[in-house]
Chains A and B, each alone.
Chain A
Amino acid sequence: MECVVEIREHALLFLSGKYTRGKFDVAHKFRIDSDESLIVKGDFSFNTQLLDEVKKQLKSKKMKMRKVKVIVNHRSIVTRDLIVPYVDKRKMSLMIEHEMYNIYHLSRDYLVDYRVIQEQKKSRKVKQVQVIASAISSKFIQSLELFFDKNRMSIVSIETAASSVMNLIEKQKVIKNPEPSVVVELNSSYIRSFIYDNYAFQIARTVYIQEEISEVAVDRLVQVLDILSQAYSGKTGKYLKNVMLIGKVEYLPLLQSHYTKESQLEINLINLNHFLVRKQPELMEYASCLGVVL
């Protein structure tokens, strides 16, 4: 049994289930919203009220998992895609760590990890690797450890939401055609987009918003898509053809209404039916959690 917890600015998402033979059977899922920000000054902030709520929910769902995989979906965790030379694992770790420290001027308190997205050949002899790297402060992890200790849980892994969603996209072969496509994770607090061209990852960008009203959130998404499309066409000469939506999928009709048939932009939901044992449309909001169990 897998248990995944996603930490957002104002919410905690719990997902548990069993992953066997390429299919995931969701056992429980619940969300705890908080009026106060859960991440304050780069530290996971929790009070007894939140702890009680978590304990109550776990008890009511009869969830007795002791090991938990954590996803941090917040701007305090720095994520960036990098292209680095192909070297051995140890050297690559050092190189990426060095790059991240230099780009973001991070303090020594930050810890850096990465995962390989794809290998690229610059020329016949020169090989490069595209990676997604993340940096998190050790203070943040300490506070997470404390929180899960109080819930009698231990952390197995910590990953970023961007990395887990990319894992879901790649493992579930979400991209169906070679045309430039963008996978958009839309939520009330952020819009995360991943551009793929010819099945290969190109760029990922996150825009943080604070829009509870669906129309405003969709308007922001349309703006983001326009900017992305223009920027990508300016760089490559190709326009985005497909938009695959996850997250708040209930916004789909509203989003589709923004685009006419002439716009040539096809907007669809990501199909995870072959991956999930039981169809649950609301699971689309747990995309980051699903990416971790793969």
Chain B
Amino acid sequence: MKYKMNLYEVYQQQKKRSKAFNPNVVLVLFLLTIALCIGATGSYLTWMKATLDKENIELNDYLSKLTLGEDYAYVLKAQKDIEAFERLTQALNEVNTVFEAKQSFGSRQLKLIYQLKPSSITIDLIKLEGAVITISVRSKEASSFASFVVSLKQAGEFLDASFPGYQMSNGNLYNSVISLTLKGEY
């Protein structure tokens, strides 16, 4: 608790404070602050420049390295390969679409061929070329070829069934080739 009054002490304290806030002192402090700010900014910019220069040198070094060209060629080749693979994949996808849509040649067609074959005909060879099944046959009766082709056509399993004719060999045996076209899109 303060039990003494002294206005002179208050006056001296205020005087001290006002001395501390002397305009000249304030100006000097202000100028010092500005100088410090400029110095700090200059130092920062110098440091930044040094850092950027270092980075620039590193980048130039990196770019000037020989391996970079090789790496670039490798990347280009890889890119071409990727493009080729993409094209192949696209083609395969198209083929797959065809394969999915086409009718396949299997045991059902073979079974049908053997079921419809007249007993007088002997099958020597069955060959599949694309969608065409070529059957080499022989018989003692020339007319059996035509009835066999008609039966195959009527079965509805094949798109087309034909034979160009027949040939005689070994006196009493006739040879012919029957062509069957499978159904489906190729």
Task: Please tell me which stretch of B6-14, B139-147, B175-183 contacts chain A, meaning at least 4 of its Cβ atoms lie within 8 angstroms of it.
Answer: B6-14
Cβ–Cβ contact B9 & A116, under 8 A: no
User: Which residues of chain A are near B5, meaning CB under 8 Å?
Assistant: 113-115, 132, 134, 159-160, 163
Assess the B9–A113 pair: CB atoms within 8 A.
Answer: yes
Task: Report the contact-size class of chain A (Cβ under 8 Å from the partner).
Answer: 20 to 34
B interface residues, tally (CB under 8 Å): 12
Which residues on the B side are within 8 Å of A146 (C-beta)? none
Q: Are B8 and A156 in contact (CB under 8 A)?
A: yes
Which residues 1-32 in B have Cβ within 8 Å of A in the complex? 1-11, 14
A157 at the interface (CB under 8 A from B): yes
**Contact of A155 with B1 in the complex, beta carbons under 8 Å:** no
Interface centre among B7, B8, B10 (most CB of A within 10 A): B7
Question: Is the pair B14, A115 in contact by a Cβ cutoff of 8 Å?
Answer: no
Chain A residues within an 8 Å CB radius of B2: 89, 92, 114-116
For window 161-175 of A, CB contacts with B under 8 Å fall at 163
Whether the Cβ atoms of A158 and B8 lie closer than 8 Å is yes
Q: Mark A108-138, 1 if CB is under 8 A from B, else 0.
A: 0001111110010000000001001010101
Any chain B CB within 8 A of the CB of A70?
Answer: yes
For the A-B complex, the count of residue pairs with Cβ-Cβ distances under 8 Å equals: 51
Task: Tell me, rounded to whole Å, the shortest Cβ–Cβ distance linking B92 to chain A.
Answer: 89
- Residues on B with C-beta less than 8 A from A111 are 7, 10-11, 14
Closest to A119 in B: B1
Instruction: Check if B6 sits within 8 Å of A138, measured CB to CB.
Output: no
**Given A115-B2, A116-B2, does the pair A134, B7 have CB atoms closer than 8 Å?**
yes
Bound complex: CA A116 to CA B4 (Å) = 8
Q: Is A141 an interface residue, CB under 8 A from the partner?
A: yes
Pick the contact of B1 from A116, A132, A136 — CB < 8 Å?
Answer: A116
**Nearest CB to that of A92 among chain B residues?**
B2
Residue of A nearest to B11 (CB): A141
Given contacts A111-B14, A138-B14, contact A159 B7 (CB under 8 A): yes
Report Cα–Cα, A277/B93, bound state, in Å.
129
User: Which residue of B is nearest A86, CB measured?
Assistant: B1
Among A92, A112, A132, A157, which residue has its beta carbon within 8 angstroms of that of B8? A157
For A141, what are the chain B residues with a Cβ–Cβ distance below 8 Å? 7-8, 11
CB closest residue in chain A, given B15 = A138
B10 touches A112 (CB 8 A): yes
Cα A138 to Cα B11 with chains together (Å): 7
Give the residues from 42 to 82 in chain A that come closer than 8 angstroms, CB to CB, to chain B.
70
- Give bound CA distance, A156 to B8, whole Å: 7
CB <8 Å contact, B9 and A115: no
Q: How far is the CA of A138 from the CA of B17 in the complex (A)?
A: 14
> A116: which B residues are within 8 A, CB to CB?
1-3
Q: Which of A92, A111, A156 has the most CB of B within 10 A?
A: A111
Query: Min CB distance, B13 to chain A, in Å?
Result: 9
Complex contacts, A160 vs chain B, CB 8 Å: 5, 7
Contacts of B1 in A (CB 8 A): 89, 116, 119, 129
CA distance A119 to B1 in the complex (A): 10
* Contacting residues of chain B (71-129) with chain A, CB-CB under 8 angstroms: none
Given A89-B2, A116-B1, answer yes or no on A70-B8 (Cβ-Cβ < 8 Å).
Answer: yes
In the complex, what residues of A have CB within 8 A of residue B8's CB? 70, 141, 155-158
In the complex, A137→B42 CA distance in Å? 49
What separation, in Å, do the CA atoms of A189 and B9 have in the docked complex?
A: 28
- For the complex, what is the distance from the CA of A160 to the CA of B10, rounded to whole Å? 14
The complex places the Cα of A155 from the Cα of B10 at a distance, in Å, of 13
Q: How far is the CB of B6 from chain A (nearest CB, A)?
A: 4
B interface residue numbers (CB < 8 A to A): 1-11, 14
In addition to A155-B8, A159-B5, A159-B6, 16 A-B residue pairs with Cβ atoms within 8 Å of each other are A89-B1, A111-B7, A111-B10, A111-B14, A113-B6, A113-B7, A113-B10, A114-B2, A115-B2, A115-B3, A116-B1, A116-B3, A134-B5, A134-B7, A138-B14, A156-B8
9 contacts between A and B (CB under 8 A): A70-B8, A89-B2, A112-B10, A115-B3, A115-B5, A116-B1, A116-B3, A158-B11, A159-B7
Q: Which 3 A-B pairs have the closest CB atoms?
A: A115-B5, A158-B8, A158-B7
